[in-house]
Amino acid sequence: MFNALIVRQDADSGLGAAAVEQISLDQLPEGEVTVAVEYSTVNYKDGLCLSPKGGGLVRRYPHVPGIDFAGTVEASDDARYKPGDKVILTGWRVGEAHWGGYSQKARVKADWLVPLPAGLDPRRAMAVGTAGLTAMLSIMALEDHGLTPGRGPVLVTGAAGGVGSVATAILAHLGYEVAAVTGRPETGEYLRGLGASRIVPREDLNETVKRPLESETWAGCIDAVGGEMLARVLGQMKYGASVAAVGLAGGAALPATVIPFLLRGVNLLGIDSVLQPYGNRTRAWARLATDLPLDRLDEMVKPAVLSDLPQLGADILKGQVKGRVVVDVNA
């Protein structure tokens, strides 16, 4: 028997509620590889899965959330992994449609795993997690479209969140000038500690303007907000610059025009981490192990245990989680 955070649905109300329970191996879903989970983390999707209605992501109950985990292979029917191997899982709808990492053991398909890269341990890998992987995929996409440190400032929206925090730290480490957008003034010192050279108050970009183009300001952007802010930012990009879109905290609608794309050659790059091909995943994780300063990674971490997760899930949906949460599932 081992511990897991189980979300069960009330028969009368239809609402889910989470609690730590003991379960057995035969209750785990099918898969080729069984992993002794060491650490997980908290992402926005985890908050949705822990919410009373499952955020539209949970297909059936009872359910174990946790879209990320890192640990040690315990048993494997796939030649690529053997007992003792250190592995990471992010994406593939694990923690949503398939039981996830809020458990001391998990069973998954071998195709969903990647080896833990040299330079990272399981705890730090979960300090990175899906948020950090998304940040690295965004930076890689911007670089592939011509971004270099000499082109000018790079804007990071939602900078105090998980993706934004890791993106800020990596970009600063690589020599970029980072302008960090936040709606929480108290996070300014935290963001400067990660390497941001400029703090941009959220209200400076929240105002809707009728002009499709403004002064060319940003050489690149990693946007976790979407909505009106993304529309505004598109009109402020330098000629040929790109925006990597990673989230929709400000809304899914995009009240923009095509003018920035036609007159300035601006690129809007969609970043998906869920179904990212294996080669790109391993490339991103290898870069995270070398390009993310580990001292700054450690500074953005808040520790947690399984019993903390229901509250943390609610907090992240309210935008009240700063940096990265690392969950020790064995504590």
Q: Which residues pair with 21 in a beta bridge?
A: 4
Tell whether the model's pLDDT for residue 208 goes beyond 90.
Answer: no
What whole-number distance in Å separates Cα of residue 308 and Cα of residue 310? 6
pLDDT of residue 249: 86
The confidence band for 302, taking pLDDT boundaries of 50, 70 and 90, is: very high
Q: What average pLDDT score do residues 68-89 get? A: 98
**Candidate CATH numbers 3.30.413.10, 2.40.30.10, 3.40.50.300, 3.90.180.10; the one for domain 2-116+300-328:** 3.90.180.10
For the chain, the structural domain boundaries read 2-116+300-328, 130-270
Q: What pLDDT, on a 0 to 100 scale, did the predictor assign at position 206?
A: 84
Fold exhibited by the domain 130-270 = Rossmann fold (3.40.50)
200-225: average pLDDT: 92
Distance of alpha carbon 167 from alpha carbon 189, whole angstroms: 16
Q: Is 310 helix (H, G, I), strand (E, B) or coil?
A: helix
- The residue-averaged pLDDT of 118-142 equals 97
* Beta strands, E only, 224-300: 237-245, 267-270
The answer, yes or no, to whether residue 113 has pLDDT greater than 80, is yes
> How high is the pLDDT of residue 209?
73
Which of 111, 95, 97, 96 is CA-nearest to residue 37? 95
SS3 of 119-183: the string is: CCCHHHHHHHHHHHHHHHHHHHHHHHCCCCHHHCCEEECCCCCHHHHHHHHHHHHCCCCEEEEEC
The predicted model gives 267-295 an average pLDDT of 96
- What pTM, to 2 d.p., does this model score? 0.93
User: For residue 99, what are the CA distances in angstroms to 65, 178, 203, 258?
Assistant: 6, 37, 39, 41
Q: What is the pLDDT of residue 207?
A: 76
**3-state DSSP call for residue 23?**
strand
Q: Which residues contact 144 (CB under 8 A, 6 or more apart)?
A: none
What's the chain's average pLDDT?
96
Residue 319 pLDDT greater than 90, yes or no: no
pLDDT, mean of residues 96-109: 98
pLDDT at 29: 96
Beta bridge partners of 245: 223, 270
Residue 234's pLDDT is 97
Angle at 284 (CA atoms; ends 135, 308), nearest 5 degrees: 55
Which tops the pLDDT comparison, 208 or 99? 99
| Residue in the block written with tokens 């007159």 | 263
- Overall average pLDDT of the 308-325 stretch: 94
Nearest-angstrom CA–CA distance, 58 and 37: 21
Q: Residues 20-75: pLDDT tens digits?
A: 999 999 999 999 999 999 999 999 999 999 999 999 999 899 999 999 999 999 99
Q: Mean pLDDT throughout 198-214?
A: 89
Q: What is the mean pLDDT of residues 84-109?
A: 98
Q: What is the pLDDT of residues 249-274, one digit of tens each?
A: 889 999 999 999 999 999 999 999 99
